[in-house]
């Protein structure tokens, strides 16, 4: 069993197209998408069309919830941007995705199994974001006994092995390699390069193994689209991987 895991596209259709083109050659058994698909100022509609063109399992992220669930306010500006540019059918589709997927011995979520806004592998302190100790990660996972846990939301590619041997994997972000936030304390999440990120995970006789992947695409074009749409603050993260 080999899974291609993508997450946090944030409306960056050029980056998603490059990742999907790579996957044609790699031929995974299944694509798993961890959410936050369209909330971003590049090409939300094009992103939705690309996702509809492939067979994949989709987890609903906090951005998809704000864009696609009619009863949710589009509280972020990127969610409002996407909601205004997606069809009703696309919005309903995003809103219909489950918060968690469990299959065989793996589990997929956006943030953590209990919240789509909770960082699983990192925690935010008054001094910024730091890697969460494995014992704390295990406590956040609660009762799940899945041997592989897939999470996104922080945009940082990371593989962590828990004391009991379970593997927790964040594929990084397809479409937004860096951002900053002020909750619960000001912090930056920076991958350090503009590449589109994803991960291949494979179940072997030795257990689950993960290979982090990065893809070159035309990030200057993506940054230019963000600028043309009135979002110049996205240009530096898209071009550099730094805020």
Please check whether residue 67 is in contact with residue 41, taking contact to mean a CB–CB distance below 8 angstroms: no
What is the pLDDT at residue 152? 98
Structure tokens at 242: 């730094």
Q: Which of 53-62, 69-78, 140-149, 227-236 has the lowest mean pLDDT?
A: 69-78
Q: How far, in Å, CA of 8 to CA of 53, rounded?
A: 18
Q: What is the pLDDT of residue 139?
A: 93
- Coil, strand or helix: which one is 51? helix
CA–CA separation, 199 and 212 (whole Å): 4
Q: Check pLDDT > 80 for residue 74.
A: no
Q: What is the pLDDT of residue 104?
A: 84
What pLDDT sits at residue 71? 79
The count of other CB atoms within 10 Å of the CB of residue 197 is 26
Q: Which fold has domain 2-240?
A: Purple Acid Phosphatase; chain A, domain 2 (3.60.21)
Nearest-angstrom CA–CA distance, 135 and 123: 13
48: Cα separation from own chain's centroid? 14
Question: Looking at residues 151-156, what average pLDDT do you find?
Answer: 98
Q: What is the pLDDT of residue 138?
A: 95
φ, ψ of residue 10 to 5 degrees: the values are 55, 45
For the stretch 2-53, pLDDT in tens is: 999 999 999 999 999 999 999 999 999 999 999 999 999 999 999 999 999 9
Q: What is this structure's pTM?
A: 0.97
pLDDT band per the 50, 70, 90 thresholds, residue 238: very high
pLDDT value of residue 90:
97
Which pLDDT does position 192 carry in this prediction?
Answer: 98
Look at the chain and count its residues: 243
Which whole number is the average pLDDT over 200-214?
97
Q: What is the pLDDT of residues 76-119, one digit of tens each?
A: 999 999 999 999 999 999 999 999 999 989 999 999 999 999 99
HSE, side-chain direction, 13 A CA sphere, residue 14 = 17
Predicted local distance difference test score (pLDDT) of residue 166: 95
Mean pLDDT of the chain: 96
Residue-range domain boundaries for the chain: 2-240
């Amino acid at each position: 069993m080999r899974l291609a895991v993508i997450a946090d596209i944030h409306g960056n259709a050029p980056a998603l197209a490059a990742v999907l083109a790579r996957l044609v050659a790699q031929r995974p058994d299944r694509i798993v998408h961890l959410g936050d698909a369209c909330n971003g100022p590049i090409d939300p509609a094009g992103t939705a069309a690309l996702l509809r063109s492939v067979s994949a399992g989709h987890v609903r992220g906090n951005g998809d919830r704000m864009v696609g669930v009619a009863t949710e306010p589009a509280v972020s500006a990127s969610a409002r941007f996407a909601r205004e540019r997606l069809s009703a059918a696309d919005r309903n589709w995003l809103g219909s995705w489950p918060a968690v997927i469990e299959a065989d011995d793996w589990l997929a979520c956006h943030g953590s199994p209990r919240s789509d806004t909770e960082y699983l592998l990192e925690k935010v302190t008054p001094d910024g974001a730091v890697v969460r100790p494995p014992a704390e990660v295990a406590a956040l996972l609660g009762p799940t006994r899945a041997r592989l846990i897939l999470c996104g939301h922080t945009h940082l590619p990371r593989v962590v092995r828990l004391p009991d041997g379970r593997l927790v994997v964040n594929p990084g972000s397809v479409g937004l390699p860096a951002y900053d936030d002020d909750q619960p304390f000001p912090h930056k999440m920076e991958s350090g390069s503009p590449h589109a990120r994803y991960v291949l995970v494979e179940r072997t006789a030795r257990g689950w193994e993960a290979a982090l992947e990065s893809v070159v695409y035309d990030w200057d074009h993506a940054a230019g689209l963000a600028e043309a749409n009135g979002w110049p603050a996205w240009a530096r993260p898209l071009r550099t991987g730094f805020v």
